[in-house]
Chains A and B, each alone.
Chain A
Amino acid sequence: GENVEQHPSTLSVQEGDSAVIKCTYSDSASNYFPWYKQELGKRPQLIIDIRSNVGEKKDQRIAVTLNKTAKHFSLHITETQPEDSAVYFCAARDDKIIFGKGTRLHILP
């Protein structure tokens, strides 16, 4: 069945450095790739998304890249700040949405 793999499961980054989270998907028909940020005890919030006709999208310190041929997409956070600490989920969707297992990002002071 369809699957989304997300790596790493945990990531610690020094404040100010960049963080990269990578996902691969199996369903080649997937055409929408959102990223969600979930802080402790709160609901997941959409932070950025990309559609299959675009290779890269940027919003301030956050960027997402998509390689449809290789079926992988990545989240890049630059100039990380303490408030970036959270669990991040990638997802891929065609008929239904499939989530990765999440990456717990720690920003170290």
Chain B
Amino acid sequence: GAGVSQSPRYKVAKRGRDVALRCDSISGHVTLYWYRQTLGQGSEVLTYSQSDAQRDKSGRPSGRFSAERPERSVSTLKIQRTEQGDSAVYLCASNLLNRDNQPQHFGDGTRLSIL
């Protein structure tokens, strides 16, 4: 069946520009996470949301990271005023419910390079 898909697979942007990354999660999944993955820091949670409610846990004090969920199975991660340190792989993952102890299903990720 269809899994979690992310687009684009690769994104190059100039520093200072805003970028948007898309995630199509699995139909019926309620909880959706965005992670940033770098070599030194492993996987860091950026935001997560349950159903239509947005629980933003930005790892960046400037709050440049936000996620929108226009449909239950679609999420867009927006990064404003990108910095070179934002270069990383951004992973999206979803699961049925956070409290039902079900594993997360990951997308292939978007590799973002900020020039």
Q: Is A96 touching B104 in the complex (CB atoms < 8 A)? A: no
A57-65, A66-74, A77-85, A98-106: which lies at the interface: A98-106
Q: Which residue of A lies closest to B42 (CB)?
A: A101
Number of interface residues of B (CB under 8 A): 21
B60 within 8 A of partner (CB): no
Q: Answer whether A34 and B108 are a contact pair too, CB < 8 Å, given A44-B91, A96-B48, A97-B45.
A: no
Chain A residues in 8 Å Cβ range of B109: 43
Q: Which listed residue (A6, A44, A101) contacts B41, Cβ 8 A?
A: A101
Q: Is B108 touching A99 in the complex (CB atoms < 8 A)? A: no
B7 within 8 A of partner (CB): no
Chain B residues in 8 Å Cβ range of A43: 91, 106-109
Q: Answer whether A32 and B91 are a contact pair too, CB < 8 Å, given A96-B45, A99-B43, A102-B43.
A: no
Number of interface residues of A (CB under 8 A): 22
Q: Is B33 touching A89 in the complex (CB atoms < 8 A)? A: no
Chain A residues in 8 Å Cβ range of B55: 96
Chain A residues in 8 Å Cβ range of B43: 44, 89, 99, 101-102
Q: Which residue of B lies closest to A32 (CB)?
A: B101
A46 within 8 A of partner (CB): yes
Interface string of A35-50 (1 = CB under 8 A from B): 0100000111110010
Q: Which residue of B lies closest to A33 (CB)?
A: B101
Distance A31 CA – B103 CA, assembled complex (angstroms): 12
B115 to chain A, nearest CB (A): 21
Interface string of B92-109 (1 = CB under 8 A from A): 010000110101101111
Q: Which residue of A lies closest to B100 (CB)?
A: A32
Interface string of B36-69 (1 = CB under 8 A from A): 0000011111001000000101000000000000
- 7 A-B pairs with CB atoms under 8 Å apart are A44-B43, A49-B101, A93-B98, A95-B99, A97-B33, A99-B45, A102-B43
